Amino acid sequence: MNLLWLQASGCGGCTMSLLCAENPNVFDTLADAGIDVLWHPALSLDSGADVRALLDRITAQEVALDLLCVEGAIARGPRGTGRYQMLTGTGRAMLDWVRDLAPLARHVVAVGSCAAFGGVTSAGDNPSDAVGLHYEGSHPGGLLPPEFRDRAGLPVINVAGCPTHPGWVLETLMLLASGTLGADDLDGYARPRFFADHLVHHGCPKNEFYEYKASARDLSEMGCMMEHLGCIGTQAVGDCNIRPWNGSGSCTSGGYPCINCTAPEFENPRHAFTQTPKLAGIPVGLPTDMPKAWFMALASLSKAATPERIARNAVSDRVDVPPSLRKPRP
């Protein structure tokens, strides 16, 4: 299968993350899946005139475009021209290129939250009027209209994340290459369910603290970061604490909160990223699939029952109190 990768309005971090793939490395994984990279802006040899010729052959449908991967949001500014990002040497905006190429592709993959929803490129007042391929924030319809479907009948596949995990991207591409990713395998935001059916909370190393609502007050303390430090891992989709990042990591294992980077509009949380918004001392935005009253009742009960070990460790940067040992049997 032929793959064309374009970098639109983004940071290139999803490609950089992709290079962190291990066992096997990214190049072997793609080759083993039968994926031929026609061109990738960071990895291919071709530059300048050769790339322009390739793009012409794709538009003329002389070269099959099986997989179109777009990384980064689409800039529509200034004044709707898209000239905040030109594909250089072509005199055309990236906006026009992606709009022309998407209908030619067998599958269109939005790599990262910028390409999927606009992401950080659309943060604040969205200075470049950026939008996702198939969504504008959480609303269907971005660069492409809501009714867009690829030649195989799928919507734009949103491998969201900021950045994306290399496994998310490669597994999506392998499934597409083997013809085994269908509409039912995508969630309500067209994110592959193999990672979007999990919550970041699953496998979080701070789970025991969460159970007792034993909370860290400041970054660098070991406790749960939901109550004070803005963590929304209980609501954010992603298997970040099940499959590790860079060998063994995740945001929460690194000691900082999950900011829900796989979700549309995560870039504008309406509060500081590392501070939980509260109403009358109670965090706003409790887990979505649980009645609030039950959550509050359980939380106050478990807080009251917090063992000394957990309460003390939660507000320390190290394990001050180790688990107690069973007494030997007589």
Site for other proteins (CB under 8 A): which residue of 32, 34, 89, 151? 89
The tokens describing 83, both together, are 């000239």
Neighbours of 201 (CB within 10 A): 22
Q: Using CA atoms, how far apart are residues 239 and 195, in angstroms rounded to an integer?
A: 5
Q: Is 155 in the site for other proteins (CB under 8 A)?
A: no
Site for other proteins (CB under 8 A): which residue of 3, 95, 128, 154? 128
Looking at 26-34, 59-67, 187-195, 286-294, which segment touches other proteins (CB under 8 A)? 26-34
Q: Using CA atoms, how far apart are residues 88 and 48, in angstroms rounded to an integer?
A: 8
Q: Is 47 in the site for other proteins (CB under 8 A)?
A: yes
Task: For the CB of residue 36, give the shortest distance to other proteins in the complex, in Å.
Answer: 10
Which 205-264 positions form the footprint of other proteins (CB under 8 A)?
218-220, 240, 244-257, 259, 261
Q: Is 46 in the site for other proteins (CB under 8 A)?
A: yes
Which 293-322 positions form the footprint of other proteins (CB under 8 A)?
317-318
Q: Is 90 in the site for other proteins (CB under 8 A)?
A: yes
Instruction: Draw the binding track, 171-210, toward other proteins (x: CB under 8 A; -: no contact).
Output: ----------------------------------------
Q: Which residues contact 325 (CB under 8 A, 6 or more apart)?
A: none
Element of type H or E holding 210: helix 207-211
Task: For the CB of residue 298, give the shortest distance to other proteins in the complex, in Å.
Answer: 28
Of 121 and 150, nearer to other proteins (C-beta) is 121
Q: Is 21 in the site for other proteins (CB under 8 A)?
A: yes
Task: For the CB of residue 140, give the shortest distance to other proteins in the complex, in Å.
Answer: 24
Site for other proteins (CB under 8 A): which residue of 130, 154, 157, 176? 130
Element of type H or E holding 93: strand 92-93
Q: Which residues contact 41 (CB under 8 A, 6 or more apart)?
A: 5, 6, 7
The tokens describing 149, both together, are 């479907």
Of 2 and 302, nearer to other proteins (C-beta) is 2
Please give the size of the binding site for other proteins, defined by CB under 8 A.
85
Q: Is 14 in the site for other proteins (CB under 8 A)?
A: yes
Q: Are 85 and 75 in contact (CB under 8 A)?
A: yes
Q: Using CA atoms, how far apart are residues 260 and 231, in angstroms rounded to an integer?
A: 8
* Own/partner pairs, 62-65, CB within 8 angstroms, 24+ separation: 63/2, 63/38, 64/2, 64/106, 65/2, 65/4, 65/38, 65/101, 65/104, 65/105, 65/106
Of 75 and 154, nearer to other proteins (C-beta) is 75
Which 68-87 positions form the footprint of other proteins (CB under 8 A)?
75, 77-79, 83-87
Task: For the CB of residue 96, give the shortest distance to other proteins in the complex, in Å.
Answer: 14
Q: Using CA atoms, how far apart are residues 137 and 69, in angstroms rounded to an integer?
A: 19
Site for other proteins (CB under 8 A): which residue of 1, 10, 215, 260? 10
Looking at 40-48, 150-158, 194-202, 304-312, which segment touches other proteins (CB under 8 A)? 40-48
Q: Using CA atoms, how far apart are residues 140 and 144, in angstroms rounded to an integer?
A: 9
Looking at 118-126, 139-147, 174-182, 293-301, which segment touches other proteins (CB under 8 A)? 118-126
Q: Are 314 and 215 in contact (CB under 8 A)?
A: yes
